[in-house]
Amino acid sequence: MSPGERELRTARAYLNRVAEPPAPALWELVAEIGPVRAARQVAAGRVSGAVAAETGPRRDDHRAEDDLAAAAALGARLVAPEDDEWPEWSLACFATPVARADERLRPPLALWVRGEARLDSVVEHGAAAVVGARAATGYGEHVAAELGFGLAERGLVVISGAAFGIDGAAHRGALAAEGITVAVQACGLDRVYPAGHAGLLDRIAGRGMVISEYAPGTRPAKHRFLIRNRLIAALTRARWWSRPVAAAARGAPPRRRGRWVGSSWRSRGR
């Protein structure tokens, strides 16, 4: 890696840590002047009020090198927009007028990735998300596992959040079909969450990948799960929302599993 490439990666790692995603003002600054100059200005406090509001509390947290080393120790890496494997096509949805009008919808500054496959080749191969309730019954988990198995058997990548219940069942279904599955986490990759899925996360990384936009050491939090969900949606072409599987989890009859609406499967309770 050249000195310039190292500087760019360190800048991305620094910016990734000092702002809580999606950080729209910081994202705009990086898009305008590049990550290296942006990192220097943030560290010096020479930024607009909007960027300062997003970065001020953490701008002195210079742990970029430590973060890169911690990721490497996990067998993970930082993937940036400047890298060939950046999933530019999948994340192009954030450039639409509708997304641009909503400050909650900004692409990540970088992604931490654990898994040997190329990020772009995995998610742009054709992916479907299966997400749902943690407190699922056996029937609900059976439906999710069958769905994950069927999607993987047909060559689709199954993306979910690795939580207990529906998410975990979907991952296990894809793995049972010897397919590729991706877990998008709402914490640092070194934070095994949930702890009971440590083995499952290892298996996911072995056949697919575990990704996060949060720096190593970042703890899971409610708001981070909500922000994380925009990435699950962006990286997939089809989505099975929580309601249809949640209905199954509560013992609803099969006719209430949902219906396709565009690229999303949503339950209407009938």
Q: What angle do CA 197, 199, 203 make, to 5 degrees?
A: 110
Look at residue 240 in the predicted model and tell me its pLDDT. 58
Helix 3-18 / helix 64-73 crossing angle, nearest 10 deg: 100
The 3-class secondary structure across the chain, one letter per residue, is CCHHHHHHHHHHHHHHHHCCCCCHHHHHHHHHHCHHHHHHHHHHCCCCHHHHHHHHHHCCCCCHHHHHHHHHHCCEEEECCCCCCCCHHHHHHHHCHHHHCCCCCCCCCCEEEECCCCHHHHHCCCEEEECCCCCCCHHHHHHHHHHHHHHHHCCCEEEECCCCCHHHHHHHHHHHCCCCEEEECCCCCCCCCCHHHHHHHHHHHHHCEEEECCCCCCCCCHHHHHHHHHHHHHCCCEEECHHHHHHHHCCCCHHHCCEEECCEEECCCC
Contact 13, 215 (CB under 8 A): yes
Q: Residue ranges of the domains in the chain? A: 1-61, 63-266
In the chain (270 residues long), the average pLDDT of successive 10-residue segments reads 92 97 97 98 97 96 97 97 94 90 93 95 87 86 94 94 94 97 97 95 96 97 93 80 41 38 33
Q: Show the tokens assigned to 186.
A: 């709402």
- Please check whether residue 204 is in contact with residue 181, taking contact to mean a CB–CB distance below 8 angstroms: yes
Strand-strand pairing, 259-261 and 157-160: unpaired
User: How much is the pLDDT for 136?
Assistant: 87
Segment 9-24, tens digit of pLDDT: 999 999 999 999 999 9
Provide the pLDDT for residue 238. Answer: 62
Neighbours of 52 (CB within 10 A): 16
pLDDT for 133 equals 83
Which residue has 């999606």 as its token pair?
22
Separation of alpha carbons 139 and 143, rounded Å: 6
**Alpha-carbon distance 190 to 45, whole Å?**
30
pTM score, whole prediction: 0.88
Q: Which fold has domain 63-266?
A: Rossmann fold (3.40.50)
